[in-house]
Chains A and B, each alone.
Chain A
Amino acid sequence: MGIALPGIVVGVLGLLFGLMLGWFAKKFAVEVNPLAQRIEEILPGANCGACGYPGCSGLAKAIALGNAPVNACPVGGARVWLEISKLVGASVSEIKPQRALLLCQGGRGTAQEFAEYHGIEDCRAVAVLGLSPKACPFGCLGYGTCERVCPFGAIVIDKEEKLPVIDWQKCTGCGKCVRECPRNVLGLVSQEDQVVVACTSLQGAKEVRAVCKKGCIKCQLCVRTCPVGAISFKEGRIVIDHEKCTLCGACVEKCPTKCIVFVSRSKCVAFSDLKSIGEPTGVKG
């Protein structure tokens, strides 16, 4: 019987307070935009903040008022955008789904390491030190910060190479890992077939050669090779103009350090063909 009395007291109090709250909520009910409510039902409800609003309800309100585009939710993907656009009657023509991509190939055995790090296993912690066990000051540190911040479990650190592997089936392009990466080696790319420079180093040929086998040595062979002139060398970096690129693959073949890569044969761009969404090939960083 020892449990009955406290149980009853707490139960009755809880019921009383609950009823009171319910009554007040009815009495002081604020009219919610019904459109915003329906949009919120469609949104994934992850409340990740990738859209720039505090949560899904904030975004739903903004979309209902026309302050945000129908594709403002990067997590929802094309299916969600299409449903919302049906609801609000806007076009989805400019929508492009994005995915995170690792722009570094300097894994263990490829990039040189000159020290062994014993400390907090977190890239941000290592970056704060201003030193890195990896000889390249631009390379991926590989301590798995992105793996831990990913709300969708799309990133796994490869044990042998110590580089993150991103599963594009799970990746929603929310950009959380991109924002948290202290080395800025993660980038958001559109999910179309494309050619990407997988090296962010700004160092010259000599320094890059000394520390990494797959780093960009700025030889600009790709610039000269490209038959359509889509590649240029700007501010110390190779820049690819995706508008001009025809995906011929000449630069990928010619690149002496193999740092230009061809990203995925995903077939999920056309919005008329929604069935194939969610079947892009996984890309190994």
Chain B
Amino acid sequence: MDAGLLTLLKIFLSAAFVDNIILARYIGLCPYIGMSSSVANSLGMGMAVTFVMVLASLVTWVLWNFILVPLHLEYLRIMVFILVIATLVQLVEIILKKNLPNLYRAMGIYLPLITTNCAILAVTFFGVDYGYGPLQVAIYSIGVALGFTVALLLLAGIREKLQFSKVPGFWKGYPIVFISTCLLALVFVGFKGLIK
């Protein structure tokens, strides 16, 4: 296989599975726990996060490489990147409200909460830290977003089953959710040897 293509595949797979943003890096746990109560909700959240994550990492990549680095303003990146993410989330909200009002209502408060989703900020940081090119950043962020969505869907499926199982009283609610997350994370350790 072509070397460039192979690198892209590696970036994608490692972003999605080996370094899964939630189950291997433990970033973005709040929307993960908050939105994983049903498969339908988590799918909507996954799609919204994918959209914002990919666009945000591309826009921040441009800003980083053509404005912040040439002007030696690297220390401003938290502020500038958050600005980009917040704007994008607002944009998604406006577009959803107009074109997909049903999804907009289903997302409710979680749509604006993407603004403070640390996973998205982390992806924009990693994207510039790893020194990726524009195409690589795009592939990387798609991979992370896919990994996020997969993790969300896995937990949502488990939680839907959990509702019908006998859970000891002191584990009911969030404790058993975190324990399930922990077991899922152990499963994802198995991906560590996937890429050399």
Contacts and interface: CB of A to CB of B under 8 A. Distances in A.
Given A30-B97, A30-B98, A5 B71 contact: yes
A9 B91 contact: no
B99 to A, nearest CB: 8
B83 A24 contact: no
Contacts of A115: none
**Residue from B67, B80, B84 whose CB has the most chain A CB atoms within 10 Å:** B80
Given A9-B71, A17-B83, A54 B91 contact: no
Interface residues of B, number: 21
Contact of B76 (A6, A20, A29, A30): A6
A24 B76 contact: no
B103 interface: no
Contacts, number: 43
Where chain B touches its partner, the secondary structure class is: helix
A21 interface: yes
A13 interface: yes
The range of chain A's interface size is 10 to 19
A24 B90 CA distance: 10
B73 interface: yes
B97 A21 contact: no
Contact of B84 (A9, A17, A29, A30): A17
A9 B94 contact: no
Given A6-B76, A9-B73, A17 B87 contact: yes
Nearest to B101: A30
Nearest to B84: A17
Interface string A195-228: 0000000000000000000000000000000000
A30 B97 CA distance: 7
Contacts of B95: 24, 28
Nearest to B68: A9
B187 interface: no
A10 B97 CA distance: 29
Interface string A1-29: 00001100110011001001100110011
Contacts of A24: 91, 94-95
Given A9-B68, A9-B76, A25-B94, 15 more contacts: A9-B67, A9-B80, A10-B76, A13-B80, A13-B83, A17-B87, A20-B91, A21-B90, A21-B91, A24-B94, A28-B94, A28-B95, A28-B98, A30-B97, A30-B98
23 contacts: A5-B71, A6-B76, A9-B71, A9-B73, A9-B76, A10-B79, A10-B80, A13-B67, A13-B80, A13-B83, A14-B83, A17-B87, A20-B91, A21-B87, A21-B90, A21-B94, A24-B94, A24-B95, A25-B94, A28-B99, A29-B98, A30-B98, A54-B108
Interface of A: 5-6, 9-10, 13-14, 17, 20-21, 24-25, 28-30, 54
